[in-house]
Each structure stands twice: as C-alpha cells, then as structure tokens.
Amino acid sequence: MDACVKNKVMENSVWAILLVSSMCVVHQTHADRLCLTGNFEHQVATVLSHIRLSDERLGNISQVPRDLERLFQHHWPGCKVLRFGSTITLLALKSSDVDCFVDIPGDDIGDPQALLTEALAILKNHPNLFEHFVLKQSVRVPLLTCKHIPANISVDISVSGPFAVNSSRVLSHLLHLDQRGLDLARILKYWGTVHDLANGKLTLPSYAVVLMAVFYLQQKNIVPSVAALQQNATPYEVEHWNTAFLPIEYHTDNKETLYELLGGFFTYYSDFDFRNTVISPYVGYPIKIADFDKMTNFGMYKRNVANGYAKPFPFGYLNIQDNLRHSENVARPSDVQRSALRLIRHVRAAARMYRELSSEEFLTAMLVPEKREETGRKTIFWGGGVIGSLEDCMRHQEKNS
C-alpha cells in the first residue's frame, strides 16, 4: 500500500471515529462530560446551558460591585464600582472572573499600584466577604485579584481609567442587536477555550476571537460598524480615545441560521489574508496593511501617534484592531505568533468539518479537543480530520505576503 493510500485510509478512519463515537465533548477546564444529541439547535442549547453563567449566578455576581463600593466609600467618598468585561457582554463562561473598575473622584487620583495596595488593606479587614488576595504588578493594567466569598467567584479590581467599561458597553450593544450574534460569540469563545487557542493566559485573549466574530457579523450586515455608533454621539475621550457611542436600532435582511453563520465564520476566515490585512470592527471592513496609514477614518489615531499618546499599530501574523483604541492590536503580535498560527490552522480545520459533515455532526466535531500527538507533519484531531503543521501555515501566510 503506497503512502497516498495509507494517508487516505488514516483520514477516513479519523472521520469514522467521529461518526461513531465522538458525540461527547470533554471540557478541558472542567471535568464535566457534555453529550450532544439531536439537531444543531438542540445541541447549541445544550452547550450554552452548560457553559454560560446562569441568570441566577449573574444576579449573585451583581452583589460584588455593591460590596466593594460600600467598603471603599469610607476611604474614597463618592467612588463608584462598575463592572465591565464578559459579565456585561454576557459572554461569561462558568469559569470567568468578575472585572470591576473603581472610579475614584478627582482629576489626579495617584499611582494605581498604590491605590490597589490601599484597596487590599481595606478588603483584608472583611474576611467574611473577600479572601485570596494577589497584587499583579507585571500586567499592563495593575490589578488586585481576590475571591468574593458569598458569590464564590474570583474578582479582578482595577483603578486605571473607565476605558474598559465604555469598551464593554460598545461591544455589548453590538452583540445584543441580534441573538444570533450573541450565541455565535459565545460558541466561538468556548471553542477557543476548548482548543487552548484563546483563553487569555499564554495564548491569544478571548477578546480577539470575539472581535473576529463581531467583524464577521459586520460583513454579513447583521451589526453596524463602531464608527456608525459614534457618528452622531458627542465625543467623550478617555485616555485620548473617543469612547462615546449612541445605541441605534439596526435592521438586517440577513436570514441565515446560526448553523450557517457558525460555518460561515470558519469559511470566511479559512482563506483570509491575515498577514496583509487588518480586521477592523471600527470601520467594519478589512483594511490592507499597505493602505492603513492612508485611512481617512483614523484622524484620532494619527493625532495620538503624532502627539506621542500612542504608538503606531503593531502589525503581526494576526491583526485585530481594538474597537475603540485604534493603535492596539488585540492579538498581541509581539509574543503570540505561534498562537496566531494555531488559531488559523484550527479555523481551517473547522471550515473543512463544516463542508464535509452534517449539521448534526458539525458542532461536536469542532468542539472535540485535538489529539496531542504528531504524526509526521500532521496534527490529528480525535474527530476533526487532519490539519497542516505550523510550518505549512507559515508558508501559506508568507506566500500571500
């Protein structure tokens, strides 16, 4: 039997395993076993009920900022504690933390690290409410992490500006314009976690995958650009960036199902020219890197770079522009080249699954973690076919450069 025939037999065997025995998805973060049966819509409902925070849990979490604000008010009169991040956008998984921003009155509130040290001292006096404290000084934005005992959830506390709060509100508005968009982002965030592609630790941040989903929805005319949300809003600058927006009603004639949108997401990005293109939810369409500095929409970006408020946009293997901070590549190109290439490989593998499997088999296939085993130059999925090596992906990227 020659090599080509052997490879074909191996691929067919992998798909046979999928069709017969891979109807259970193992969540890598939790030891739970999630079995998917029925049609695609039923499977999605099963996945979402398993991974997302329940309404009851979200209600308990709302107590966290209230407790923080009550305790901090004695030390910083007039302060407000605001949630941001995944518990606002409703993309929070069961393993997610609560992100809280402490808005302290005053134009010059002082050094963030010193303020968090003060916050630590305050919270330590209430061991019935908070425990397990860690001051993180190495991250870009200093954080105090702890556990809120009544809600039994980890909390990240920041005092470094309300930018993230406003950014979360913009993202939340876009995702809640259409239920399909919210569900798509939830599934893709979980997909990134299952495959260890985008969990915010040593990989791409999950925010990068969410912005890819928003951008794809913009291509499908399901949500508007961020620029459209800001068009008639009175500018409100935070850290030299406009964070204002006006919620708008947005009507779409797109009738695609969630199944078609999910498969379409992978199909769209499977042949995307990542190396030479910027994914920009702000303008809502792809920008060629060669044309980036010529964009007339980026007046604030050019002003901030010229005045030294921001560095030029850092291009990399994956270029995803933040929806408000236009100089930021949320794919963090300086340290995640390998992670970006892995993401692209998995996107292409999922696109193949969408082409070759039925709607009842697709969701299970894309959520089965890859088999951590190399066979020659191929990585084999338990039930997801065969994808190329990192070197193959790199050559494809450079070929399109």
Go through the domains of the chain in sequence order and give each one's CATH number: 1-52+162-401 (1.10.1410.10), 56-161 (3.30.460.10)
pLDDT at 8 over 70: no
Return the half-sphere exposure (C-beta side, CA atoms, 13 A cut-off) of residue 363: 27
The bridge status of strand 153-158 relative to strand 143-148 is antiparallel
H-helix segments, 125-194: 163-175, 179-194
Compute the distance between CA of residue 70 and CA of residue 278 in angstroms, rounded to an integer: 43
pLDDT band at 395, cuts 50/70/90? low
Residue 399 pLDDT: 54
What would the two tokens of residue 350 be? 């999922």
Contact 105, 78 (CB under 8 A): yes
pLDDT at 232 over 90: yes
pLDDT at 45 over 50: yes
Return the half-sphere exposure (C-beta side, CA atoms, 13 A cut-off) of residue 121: 7
Give tens-digit pLDDT for 255-288: 999 999 999 999 999 999 998 999 999 999 999 9
Compute the distance between CA of residue 365 and CA of residue 288 in angstroms, rounded to an integer: 33
Helix (H) and strand (E) counts in the chain: 15, 14
pTM surpassing 0.75? yes
Q: Kindly tell me the burial class for residue 179, based on how many C-beta atoms sit within 10 Å of its own C-beta (0-12, 13-18, 19 or more).
A: exposed
Residue 37 pLDDT: 82
Give tens-digit pLDDT for 53-102: 877 888 889 999 999 999 999 999 999 999 999 999 999 888 888 999 99
Residue 136's nearest CA partner among 84, 97, 171, 106 is 97
Residue 166's nearest CA partner among 239, 97, 105 is 239
Contact 380, 14 (CB under 8 A): yes
pLDDT at 246 over 90: yes
Contact 216, 189 (CB under 8 A): no
Bridge-partner residues for 374, per DSSP? 379
pLDDT at 19 over 50: no
Q: Kindly tell me the burial class for residue 365, based on how many C-beta atoms sit within 10 Å of its own C-beta (0-12, 13-18, 19 or more).
A: buried
Count of beta carbons in the 10 Å neighbourhood of residue 286: 16
Q: Which helix (H) or strand (E) holds 371?
A: strand 370-375
Compute the distance between CA of residue 308 and CA of residue 305 in angstroms, rounded to an integer: 5
Residue 248 pLDDT: 86
The dihedral over CA atoms of 261, 262, 263, 269, expressed in degrees to the nearest 10, equals 90
Ranges 11-20, 50-59, 137-146, 179-188, most confident: 179-188
Residue 204's nearest CA partner among 362, 346, 384, 94 is 346
Owner of token pair 């894309």: 366
